[in-house]
Structure 1
Amino acid sequence: MSSSSIRAATPATQAAPGLVLGAIGVVFGDIGTSPLYTLRECLKAAGGISQTNVFGIVSLILWSIIIVVTLKYVSFVMRADNEGEGGILALTALASGVAPQRLRHLLLTLGVFGAAMFYGDSMITPAISVISAVEGVTLVDPNLTAWIVPISLVILTGLFKIQKRGTGAVGKVFGPVMVVWFLTLAALGILHIVTHVSIVRAVSPLYALTFVSHAPGTAFVVLGSVFLALTGGEALYADMGHFGKRPIRAAWLFLVLPSLILNYFGQAALVLERPAAVAQPFFQSAPGWALIPLVLLATAATIIASQAVISGAFSMTKQAVQLGFLPRIPVVHTSTHEIGQVYVPFINITLYAAVVFLVVFFKSSDNLAAAYGIAVASTMLLTTLLMYFITHNLWHWKPLASIAVVGPLALVDAVFVSSNIGKVLDGGWFPLLAGGLLFTVMTTWYKGRETLVEKMKSDNLPLPGLIRSLCDSSHAPPRVNGTAVFPGGVAGMAPTAFLHNLKHNGVMHQTNIFLAGTTDNVPHVPNDRKVVVEDLGHGCYSLVVRHGFMEIPNVPAILELAKTQMPNWRYEPADTSFFLARDTILATGASKAMPLWREKLFAFLGRNAAQAAEYYSLPANRVVELGGQINI
């Protein structure tokens, strides 16, 4: 078994209490705070309280959670791990790697669209979660209504402010707090179920079917609000790489799922008993003495839910950069022990600006609920569609077997997507707009890089032939001491920085190392398979470096690995210079692959990408940058 396989299998095969506790604290924050507003929004969409409505809605919530979260994600999708990693981009990499060649571009497009929608969800989750918790203060004192938005903004500002410190220290208290939260959900639910035991009958799916058949038009609208109970379900799969399958499954089946169901049923029993409680059924389910502690606990839980989504956006950004869907973005590692703990300043400030806009513009969880759902519902549908290619091409199921399993799940997802379409005009336009803009950026960067590589292959010279012609001729350039390293090239082609150095300085170093990197469709590539060295002669070496989509290139570390394959060379940092091409991309409209506006967007993204020296972890005092222009 390879080292990568061992790494992936370890968390997945151990359901240690520490991993279960960590999963409770990170994975379930979003779905765990949905009871704050879900039943309220469902009853509002249904147009009022009646026994048929309440029984039907709580039955719909129950069976939606069982079908979408338990059966689809916990039992089915989580089997499709990419060497232990999950999430829409990891699944896309896995599916595109086994799908027929003609379909790979389509699958990449679907996956990128799903990732873009995830960012839209990342913007709304902190806003709706925190503001819905803070709204509980109005039950303490109605005069505090005007303070809901300012208090929410203060909490969210503090949350985004501490991101640069990393989540390691704060994460230690996430698990215990969320355990208390879920036990509180269960206790509040039981408190009211025992006073209206008949609500337990809603466990039968007949009540959901009766509600749908009685008023299908109303039920279709209500499904858009029922979906609020499922937001965060994607996180079970996305965070699989951090905790493994078994801890997440154990936490879901033995604590989270029972607590959520008990609380939803308890809220349903409460509104049947006291219809006036429909305005805030969650907070009104608490005894008077427990209201303030519950508001504080809910606020803590929503902060944790927001933190999980923000951290997920950071991790997805790192994956997108490595897979070539986003330009280089500075990524800060906040832990010396956990490689997955990262902070992305640009994403942090962008999410913060979007969240502030959402809180100020929508002002209440009622209004935000109207915008919530369409983005994550789209991601869930795309995940299901990608699973067809996993089952058929990777697991080798027969087509009918794949359709028999994936088809019904896709139908359920499609129903939820269509039921959320009505939210577009009420605020759903925001995550769609944000996701659409990001989708445009990601696909433009991916296509632009393809175009640029083809341009370099057509314009630059083959590297082996160039080295022979330079070194074997009577006009060979003079050699200077030391090692020159040229990162970021195209395999087999002479790097632009090397050509610039020859043109302007007219010399070659005694040792020249040309690095060309590729990103595999796996999260990590083991060290023994990471570097392939080709000796070009005359002190020149071509290195093809393979990275996983969870890894960030580190050129000095790569050179340490490669020296075992170059016995005549020793890596001496003080004698090594790193030559980088700082080319300016000019949009000319000549490309047939992209229209002029996309060329200009690609050029703009290229100009604003992070410095290559920082991205490759190069020592700043050993870097030489040589510039030029590339017309596309």
Structure 2
Amino acid sequence: MTLAALGVVYGDIGTSPLYTLKECLNGHVPLPIVPENVLGMLSMVFWGLMLVVSVKYVVLILRADNRGEGGVLALMALALREAGTGSRKALFFTALGIFGASLFYGDSIITPAISVLSALEGIGVVSHRLDPYIVPITIVVLIVLFVLQARGTASMGKLFGPVMLLWFVTLGLLGLYQVVQSPGVLAAINPIYALRFVVHHAWQAFVLLGAVVLALTGAEALYADMGHFGRPAIRRAWFGLVLPSLVLNYFGQGALLLANPKAIANPFFLLAPSWGVLPLVVLATVATVIASQAVISGAYSMTSQAIQLGFAPRMDIEHTSDTEIGQIYMPGITWFLLVAVIALVLLFRSSGNLASAYGFAVTCTMVMTTLLAFTVLGRRFAGIPRLGIFALLSVLLVIDLLLFSSNALKIHDGGWFPLLVGVIAFTLMMTWKRGRALLNDRLHQGELPLEGFVEMLESSPPQRVEGTAIFMTGSADRVPHALLHNLKHNKVLHEQVVLMTVENADIPYVATRERVAVRRLGETFYQIIATYGFKEEPSVPAILKLVKELQPELDLDPMQTSFFLSRETIVAAKYPEMSLWRRKIFALMNRNALRATSFFKIPPNRVVEMGMQVEL
């Protein structure tokens, strides 16, 4: 499990040495390559890894699990449980969680672009005549990567762990060789070097925090992927291999620069002997593809969770593994990311230029995570006073805010891109949530209470026809519109009538024994309430299989069962509650949402849809 975590969780942060120190010393604020500056930047990178990644994420945030699952949306669900629904605090937590999740899409676009570009830029170390081919080769690699997503990560995943193990061992050995040559570089472990650099170059140090954060990108993945591998495996991989390898490599680059300041052109690849540069380029390219694969899979997982939590319309989700529920493929998200990533590569053309865009989304999500952690972590450490946890989180929040503020300075240099993606995604998610809430209110206004309706209908029924009718409804205590329309227009009632409601819980998974509740409403009426977690996909055939075990007398023969659903068309109300632009966006999203038939895996040849217009 630790080896698997190494292959998926640490791809992003594991490829940061390709560009971090180069950007710290030779980026938008070039520094003279002198011991004071090199040791100062190394000390800032080292303590960033220790405080932000080790203390905040590995020690603290990994404790904030939602039944074993992590990620900003899982953290938001925990915070909402503490705050209660409908309060201003709940609205604030929702905004934090959704904006943090929205910024992840910007990160999902930048990570493949900067990672693959930085790896292939090693070709320039072999020969500068190959420089014109870096961008075209990058685009080809990215296209192949995204095309292969449809095959799933099951087969590729078996290679991820061993390849990343080789990568981290290589990082450590390359750095160790240089550190042995110049052991004085280890003095940078002393935080006094970072403090001295800050005192002597206060403004430069603040600006350069935007480059230091490049060493921390991928920290959110430790938390987001906790559900796949578990807290112990992620911690063992970090402290046992990843952290030592990263520190050795950064310090090795620093030792190389102290010995040869001209190596700033590409300090990572110049760590290797001349015969090893080309193999290192190949290994780095494979490692960056793995890092990109991890963040793409994260975008799929994030979107799936947003759908289940009601912040995104239904989309096509394909499972690529018969055994792993988390391995999914989403065609729409895939092609959106591919187009955006290629556009980004063509627009920025180098990892140095992309470094300006990188970091803003990551640091903003870090701030959101820390703010939500204040509500969740207070009771998670037995024997430690809440005041102590809050004090530590406050220190970490100050660090997050410093990193975020520094990266905000890069908005005009490229940071606008992830911000734009995040704002668009946030607007779409909140518009969908608001639109669905208003739509449900409108639908409830025209519904009849279920209590008393069944008795009335069975006492004086219309014409009964053979078979079973299942009416899908979002409200467990109201009569479905589809049932009312069927009675109004067809004037018939099936021999058996089932009202089915699929509900979403604020936990990742629901136990099978708790999945379905069946209630008999009358002689021929039944109610089924099925509950799914936000990391699960509902399946009506699976629900009916469980119902058959609980209620064997209920006839659910597929050839004798029909499904009735409502399909709403949005029209403008006389006094609308949504602004015109948001209403148009919601209507467009509603029209293009995946049909309920496909989302709930209902046999399409057994479905009857009842259309209706709803004013918003």
Query: TM-score w.r.t. structure 2 length?
Result: 0.97
What is the Cα deviation at residue 512 of structure 1? Answer: 1.2
Task: Choose which of 252, 262, 265 in structure 2 pairs with 1:279.
Answer: 265
2:535 paired residue number: 550
1:138 aligns with one of 111, 119, 124: 124
| Residue matched to 1:50 | 34
Aligned to 2:599: 615
**Cα distance, 1:467 vs. partner?**
2.4
1:524–1:547 Cα contact (<8 Å) kept:
yes
Is 1:94 aligned with 2:106? no
> CA contact under 8 A between 2:468 and 2:555: conserved in structure 1?
no
Q: Determine the structure 2 residue equivalent to 1:576.
A: 561
Shift of 1:620: 1.8
Matched, 1:265 2:265: no
> Cα offset for 1:100?
4.3
Q: What is the one-letter code of the residue matched to 1:43?
A: L
The 2-side partners of 1:531 and 1:452 are apart by 26
Aligned to 1:512: 497
Please say if 1:478 is aligned against 2:463.
Answer: yes
SS in 1 for 2:345: helix
Q: Which moved more, 1:429-438 or 1:530-539?
A: 530-539
> Could you say what secondary structure the match of 1:302 adopts?
helix
Alpha-carbon separation, structure 1, partners of 2:192 and 2:556: 71
Aligned equivalent of 1:39, options 21, 33, 40: 21
Q: Name the SS of the counterpart of 1:513 in structure 2.
A: strand
Is the CA contact 2:103–2:419 (under 8 Å) kept in the aligned structure 1? yes
CA distance in 1: counterparts of 2:565 and 2:417, whole angstroms: 40
Equivalent residues of 2:118, 2:350 under 8 A apart: yes
Report what 2:445 is aligned to: 458
- Residue 243 of structure 1: CA displacement? 0.7
Are the aligned partners of 1:487 and 1:555 in contact in 2 as well (CA < 8 Å)?
no
Amino acid at match of 2:434: K
What amino acid is the match of 2:80?
Answer: S
Q: Shift of the alpha carbon at 1:528?
A: 1.8
Residue pair 1:463, 1:494 contacting (<8 A) in 2 also: yes
Which of 236, 239, 242 pairs up with 2:228?
Answer: 242
Q: Quick check: 1:290 aligned with 2:272?
A: no
Matches of 1:316 and 1:589, distance apart in 2? 37
Q: For each residue in 1:141-193, what CA deviation from the matched residue of structure 2 results, as whole angstroms up to 9, or x when unmatched? A: 11111111100000000000000000000010111111111011011101111
Q: C-alpha distance in 1, partners of 2:542/2:448? A: 28
Which residue of the partner structure matches residue 489 of structure 1? 474
Q: Which residue of 1 aligns with 2:184?
A: 198
Among 421, 429, 440, the alignment partner of 2:427 is: 440
Q: Which moves more between the two structures, 410-419 or 491-500?
A: 491-500
Residue 389, structure 1, aligned to residue 371, structure 2: no
Kindly provide the amino acid, as one letter, of the partner of residue 36 in structure 2.
T
Residues 220-369 of structure 1 mapped to structure 2, 5 A cutoff: 220-369=206-355
| 3-state SS of 1:492 partner | coil
Instruction: Determine the structure 2 residue equivalent to 1:105.
Output: 91
Question: Any idea what SS the aligned residue of 2:119 has?
Answer: helix
Answer yes or no: is 1:537 the counterpart of 2:537.
no
- Structure 1 moving runs of 4+ over 4 Å: 393-399
What secondary structure sits across from 2:530 in the alignment?
Answer: strand
Cα offset, 1:591, TM superposition: 3.6
How far apart, CA to CA, are the structure 1 residues paired with 2:62 and 2:315?
A: 29
Q: Which moved more, 1:58-67 or 1:88-97?
A: 88-97
Given candidates 381, 388, 403, the residue that maps to 1:401 is 388
Structure 1 275/235 Cα, relative in aligned 2: closer, same or farther at 3 Å?
same
Equivalent residue for 2:200, pick from 208, 214, 218: 214
Partner Cα separation in structure 1 for residue 527 and residue 201 of structure 2: 68
- Contact 2:532–2:538 (8 Å) recurs in 1: yes
Secondary structure (helix, strand or coil) at the match of 1:493 reads coil
AA in 1 matched with 2:61: V
CA apart distance, 1:631: 1.1
Preserved CA contact (<8 Å) 1:43 1:54: yes
In 2, Cα distance between equivalents of 1:602 and 1:538: 41
Instruction: Give CA-to-partner distance per residue, 1:356-386, whole Å, 9 cap, x none.
Output: 1100000000100000000011111111111
Q: Does 1:521 align with 2:503?
A: no
Which amino acid is the alignment partner of residue 88 of structure 1?
Answer: V
- Of residues 402, 409, 418, the one that matches 1:422 is 409
C-alpha separation between the residues in 1 aligned to 2:396 and 2:575? 45
- What are structure 2's unaligned runs of at least 5 residues? none
SS in structure 1 at match of 2:312: coil
Alpha-carbon distance, 1:500 to partner: 2.1
Could you say which residue in structure 1 is the equivalent of 2:153? 167
